[in-house]
A and B are shown apart, each in its own frame.
Chain A
Amino acid sequence: DVKVTQSSRYLVKRTGEKVFLECVQDMDHENMFWYRQDPGLGLRLIYFSYDVKMKEKGDIPEGYSVSREKKERFSLILESASTNQTSMYLCASSSPPNQPQHFGDGTRLSIL
């Protein structure tokens, strides 16, 4: 079975901090995705990557950046955390990109 592991289930940070969310998958998938999930808004795509060192903006990339130095790892970076970035963050992987995605258990991030 595919396993997607997110480094933290819960995280509390302060406004202005640089925050790193890590995601690792073990199935050699080319495609990896970062979403945020908010009540009433569903899942919104932040960034995705279809290969090492490649990235594409999703629907809401502002305030975020990503890094994919190795195929199995996709990092989401909040350059300067703000309270409106408090949310549930979900990482997923797939191969090919429009096939079923495998999700991690999410990181519930609170920015104080």
Chain B
Amino acid sequence: SQQGEEDPQALSIQEGENATMNCSYKTSINNLQWYRQNSGRGLVHLILIRSNEREKHSGRLRVTLDTSKKSSSLLITASRAADTASYFCATSSIQGAQKLVFGQGTRLTINP
């Protein structure tokens, strides 16, 4: 069954603007992770947030987690053309801690 689901499926913004992507999930989690994938390449881990954390920062990335709503958001500030990629959330559930379940991703396009 699909765990993480990203919203929107596609997002197109101008360079310099902020980009926000959302992820919803269904079961109780140990942690939630965000990954980035450039076209035709593998995924690259961006940030991990544990279930007892509410917010985490890494450079221009800000991730929030609301376990009561079973949702997370990824904010990329001051976007650059190089941020153009697909972004995936992945959850590690308490029941199935041996694996991650990935959402379908958000395709982000930054227009110069």
Q: Interface size of A by Cβ–Cβ distance < 8 Å?
A: 26
- B59 near A: Cβ within 8 Å? no
| Chain A residues with CB below 8 A from B88, complex form | 42-43
| Given A56-B98, A97-B97: A106 touches B40 (CB 8 Å cut-off) | yes
| Chain B residues with CB below 8 A from A105, complex form | 40-42
Q: Interface size of B by Cβ–Cβ distance < 8 Å?
A: 23
| Given A40-B104, A43-B88, A56-B98: A98 touches B41 (CB 8 Å cut-off) | no
A92 to B33 alpha-carbon distance, docked (Å): 15
A86-102 vs B, Cβ < 8 Å mask (1 yes, 0 no): 00001010000111111
A43 & B102 in contact (Cβ 8 Å cutoff) = yes
B45 & A98 in contact (Cβ 8 Å cutoff) = no
- B44 near A: Cβ within 8 Å? yes
| Chain A residues with CB below 8 A from B97, complex form | 97-98
CB distance from B9 to the nearest CB of A (A): 9
- B99 near A: Cβ within 8 Å? yes
A99 & B48 in contact (Cβ 8 Å cutoff) = yes
Residue among A4, A58, A102 making CB contact with B99, cutoff 8 Å? A58
A90 to B99 alpha-carbon distance, docked (Å): 15
| Chain B residues with CB below 8 A from A98, complex form | 30-31, 92, 97-100
Q: Which residue of A lies closest to B9 (CB)?
A: A40
- A48 near B: Cβ within 8 Å? yes
A2-22 vs B, Cβ < 8 Å mask (1 yes, 0 no): 001000000000000000000
